[in-house]
């Protein structure tokens, strides 16, 4: 049965959860109100749906998308669009990124290099075949600028998405290398024939009277592995993490680290991993993974903790139940969110003229190491330069080296039913007195974080219900002025039922509720605060064929519903109410001032009853287990 969204209940629940430093209720009321009122015009169309699986070239591909906040762009000025990269990621593309030279565009319409009002990238991925979801990452001069995954295509499909990359202007202003990894495998044995045909364009916007160049960073340094021909993120499977050396100009006045981080392989579903103390109660065949569900990404300067990230869980298109995410993906799938730590308090050290280390680590709940294999993490150091050499010292440092998640639980006498609860909280305060361009001022960085994860297992682990909420605020002030505010709540609940997984013609099913509520005002992004509310409900099933031979997904159902609201402190808005069912779009309404930047899917693709569901002839499978 599909869940129907009860907005009133959702609003009340979220608002009740907010603690003092969270967004004030009145901040989010406009977002929820707009969703409750709905669009002024509703499109209904009964034209036949576009088939997901077809060899008919005359059929336009199914639109597949992740809902995102459209970029805020200057109107009425000039712009130019240039192709940055075109590549087919097929056979031999695994661990073999494509690398192309980049040069800033020189056409007048683009605006002067470095003086742009905005830069956006448009990535188009066409695939015609069968393929897993594959992770892609894009780097300019070794700085990661986009991490995204792919659709799980079966026959025709095109995905494109647009990303605001204005914050990387300093990188785009100079020549460099663009490196894109999209490790893909083509194998007739596995039935994987989907090549990813990628085209990446960049659009550069010249400043206008009312829309100038934002005060984005002057210099951006990579916190990556710097390899010339591989993915540049650190692949982290132990507690040491990845370190990069940075040489910071002595006149740096402000410094922020931006972080990309996602779990992969045994850490893809980290939020459902079982605390080690309780893993012993389950049969190994359930495939449950240990080291607990709590993860913290740490940023350290010369080994001293500078700040942490308690990340949003990004679910890929093959995640938990693949039929849930086609053609509407989970939030973050095609553009993973990033996080910011203000390391300005460390500038007297970082900008002393010597080389220093910035380390990115991931902490979990296991022992030596505390995580499974693996996490992909990268960062960039965003610097604003001035005229005076920065000096000063750290005057307050309250940042315990490690989080202390606490685990409790209960097990029934026959081990059939297990409950675990992991809670954690964290408070970090780092203050420095700095002497720089703006005289002497106090710089204060603060994080208040809270985490709760409850897992209930029945049927000896074949049925699992995980409910997690991560919430917190990260703030900084410079000379009393607010500089950074990141106030977020990431609730996630996943119910999965694998009771029939081992049976002939068995399968599995899941239901997922996931929200992303975040008010983010970061000087790296410029242009003031951005508020996002995304509420998703998904559920689906997958049927499998012959066991114990090769397991193939032969049929399935899936339905996903999403309410999305985006507002900016400059008054821009974007609202979307969208749903997909059984491989077809059933509803899509878009409204708000930015509605034309990312319009609804074409009316011809809306089929209110949903599609017939996923069916395939027996052949090599495209579906894998969730854990």
Binding site for ligand NAG (CB under 6 A): 3, 55, 57, 122, 124, 128, 156, 160, 162, 228-229, 243, 280-281, 302, 356-357, 406, 414-415, 423, 425, 463, 493, 495, 497, 499-500, 505, 511, 513, 537, 543, 554-555, 557, 613
Choose between 243 and 333: whose C-beta lies nearer to ligand NAG.
243
Choose between 281 and 334: whose C-beta lies nearer to ligand NAG.
281
Query: Which residues sit opposite 63 in a β-bridge?
Result: 158
Choose between 299 and 483: whose C-beta lies nearer to ligand NAG.
299
Choose between 427 and 569: whose C-beta lies nearer to ligand NAG.
427
Choose between 63 and 383: whose C-beta lies nearer to ligand NAG.
63
Smallest distance from ligand NAG to CB 108, Å? 21
* Number of DSSP helices (H) and strands (E) in the chain, helices first: 5, 29
Nearest to 45 by CA among 593, 584, 598: 584
Choose between 264 and 448: whose C-beta lies nearer to ligand NAG.
448
Choose between 46 and 404: whose C-beta lies nearer to ligand NAG.
404
Alpha helix ranges (H) inside 313-443: 347-350
Smallest distance from ligand NAG to CB 479, Å? 29
Smallest distance from ligand NAG to CB 71, Å? 9
Choose between 273 and 514: whose C-beta lies nearer to ligand NAG.
514
Smallest distance from ligand NAG to CB 176, Å? 17
Gap between the Cα atoms of 469 and 471, Å rounded: 6
Gap between the Cα atoms of 291 and 301, Å rounded: 26
Choose between 1 and 44: whose C-beta lies nearer to ligand NAG.
1
Say which DSSP state 369 is in: S
Gap between the Cα atoms of 561 and 137, Å rounded: 27
Smallest distance from ligand NAG to CB 541, Å? 6
Query: How many other CB atoms are found less than 10 A from the CB of residue 576?
Result: 25
Choose between 471 and 518: whose C-beta lies nearer to ligand NAG.
471
Nearest to 311 by CA among 377, 224, 240: 377
Smallest distance from ligand NAG to CB 62, Å? 12
Gap between the Cα atoms of 517 and 508, Å rounded: 30
Smallest distance from ligand NAG to CB 387, Å? 26
The torsion angle over the Cα atoms of residues 392, 393, 395 and 400, rounded to 10 degrees, is 140
Examine residue 313 and say whether the peptide bond preceding it is cis (omega within 30 degrees of 0).
no
Smallest distance from ligand NAG to CB 481, Å? 28
Query: How many other CB atoms are found less than 10 A from the CB of residue 227?
Result: 12
Nearest to 585 by CA among 67, 26, 35: 67
Q: What is the 3-state secondary structure (H, E, C) of 475-527?
A: EEEECCEEEEEEEEEEEEEEEEECCCCCCCCCEEEEEEEEEEEEEEECCCCCC
188 neighbors 165 (Cβ within 8 angstroms): no
CA 169 to mean position of chain CA atoms:
21
Alpha helix ranges (H) inside 101-184: 169-172
Smallest distance from ligand NAG to CB 478, Å? 25
Choose between 607 and 614: whose C-beta lies nearer to ligand NAG.
614
Choose between 203 and 522: whose C-beta lies nearer to ligand NAG.
203
Strands 196-205 and 339-342: unpaired
Backbone angles phi, psi at 366, to 5 degrees: -90, -170
154 neighbors 53 (Cβ within 8 angstroms): yes
Smallest distance from ligand NAG to CB 435, Å? 23
Smallest distance from ligand NAG to CB 438, Å? 28
The torsion angle over the Cα atoms of residues 279, 282, 286 and 287, rounded to 10 degrees, is 20
Choose between 185 and 442: whose C-beta lies nearer to ligand NAG.
185
466 neighbors 451 (Cβ within 8 angstroms): no
Smallest distance from ligand NAG to CB 125, Å? 10
500 neighbors 508 (Cβ within 8 angstroms): yes
Smallest distance from ligand NAG to CB 448, Å? 9
Gap between the Cα atoms of 200 and 198, Å rounded: 7
Gap between the Cα atoms of 31 and 1, Å rounded: 28
Gap between the Cα atoms of 266 and 322, Å rounded: 17
Smallest distance from ligand NAG to CB 535, Å? 9
Instruction: Please identify which residue in the block is written with the tokens 């894109």.
Output: 180
Choose between 363 and 478: whose C-beta lies nearer to ligand NAG.
363
**Nearest-10 crossing angle of helices 25-37, 7-17:** 170
232 neighbors 378 (Cβ within 8 angstroms): yes
């Amino acid at each position: 049965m599909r869940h129907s969204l009860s907005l009133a209940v959702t609003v009340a629940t979220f608002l009740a959860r907010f603690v003092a430093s969270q967004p004030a209720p009145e901040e989010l009321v406009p977002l929820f109100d707009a969703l409750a009122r709905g669009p002024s015009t509703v499109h209904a169309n009964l034209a036949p749906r576009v088939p997901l699986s077809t060899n008919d070239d005359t059929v336009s591909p199914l639109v597949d998308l992740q809902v995102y906040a459209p970029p805020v762009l200057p109107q009425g000025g000039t712009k130019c669009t240039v192709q940055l990269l075109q590549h087919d990621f097929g056979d031999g593309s695994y661990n073999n990124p494509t690398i192309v030279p980049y040069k800033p565009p020189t056409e007048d319409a683009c605006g002067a290099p470095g003086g742009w009002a905005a830069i956006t990238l448009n990535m188009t991925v066409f695939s015609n075949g069968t393929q897993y979801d594959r992770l892609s990452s894009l780097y300019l001069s070794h700085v990661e600028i986009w991490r995204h995954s792919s659709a799980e295509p079966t026959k025709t499909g095109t995905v494109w998405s647009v990303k605001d990359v204005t914050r990387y202007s300093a990188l785009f202003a100079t020549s460099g290398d663009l490196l894109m990894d999209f490790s893909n495998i083509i194998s007739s044995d596995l039935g994987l024939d989907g090549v990813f045909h990628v085209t990446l364009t960049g659009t550069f916007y010249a400043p206008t009277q009312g829309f100038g160049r934002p005060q984005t960073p002057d210099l951006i340094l990579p916190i990556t592995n710097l390899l010339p021909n591989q993915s540049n993120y650190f692949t982290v499977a132990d507690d040491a993490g990845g370190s990069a050396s940075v040489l910071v100009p002595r006149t740096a006045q402000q410094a922020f680290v931006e972080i990309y981080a996602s779990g992969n392989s045994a850490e893809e579903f980290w939020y459902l991993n079982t605390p080690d103390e309780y893993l012993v109660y389950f049969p190994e065949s359930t495939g449950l993974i240990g080291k607990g569900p709590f993860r913290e990404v740490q940023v350290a300067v010369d080994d001293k903790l500078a700040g942490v990230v308690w990340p949003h869980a990004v679910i890929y298109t093959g995640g938990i139940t693949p039929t849930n995410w086609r053609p509407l993906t989970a939030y973050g799938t095609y553009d993973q969110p990033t996080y910011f730590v203000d390391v300005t308090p460390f500038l007297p050290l970082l900008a002393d003229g010597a080389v220093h280390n910035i380390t990115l680590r991931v902490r979990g709940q296991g022992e030596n190491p505390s995580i499974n294999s693996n996490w992909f993490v990268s960062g960039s150091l965003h610097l604003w330069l001035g005229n005076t050499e920065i000096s000063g010292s750290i005057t307050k440092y309250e940042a315990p080296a490690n989080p202390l998640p606490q685990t409790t639980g209960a097990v029934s006498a026959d081990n059939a039913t297990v409950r675990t609860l992991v809670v954690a909280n964290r408070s970090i305060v780092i203050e420095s007195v700095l002497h720089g361009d703006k005289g002497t001022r106090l710089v204060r960085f603060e994080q208040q974080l809270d985490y709760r994860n409850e897992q209930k297992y029945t049927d000896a682990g074949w049925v699992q219900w995980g409910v997690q909420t991560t919430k917190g605020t990260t703030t900084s002030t410079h000379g009393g002025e607010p500089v950074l505010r990141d106030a977020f709540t990431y609730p996630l609940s996943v119910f999965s039922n694998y009771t029939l997984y081992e049976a002939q013609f068995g399968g599995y099913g899941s239901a997922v509720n996931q929200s992303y509520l975040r008010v983010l005002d970061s000087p790296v992004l410029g242009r003031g605060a951005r508020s996002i509310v995304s509420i998703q409900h998904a559920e689906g099933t997958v049927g499998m064929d012959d066991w114990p031979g090769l397991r193939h997904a032969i049929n399935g159902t899936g339905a996903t519903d999403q309410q999305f609201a985006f507002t900016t402190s400059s008054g821009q808005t974007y609202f979307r109410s969208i749903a997909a069912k059984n491989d077809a779009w059933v509803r899509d309404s878009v409204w708000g001032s930015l509605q034309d930047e990312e319009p609804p899917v074409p009316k011809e693709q809306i089929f209110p009853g949903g599609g017939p569901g996923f069916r395939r002839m027996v052949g090599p499978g495209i579906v894998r287990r969730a854990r």
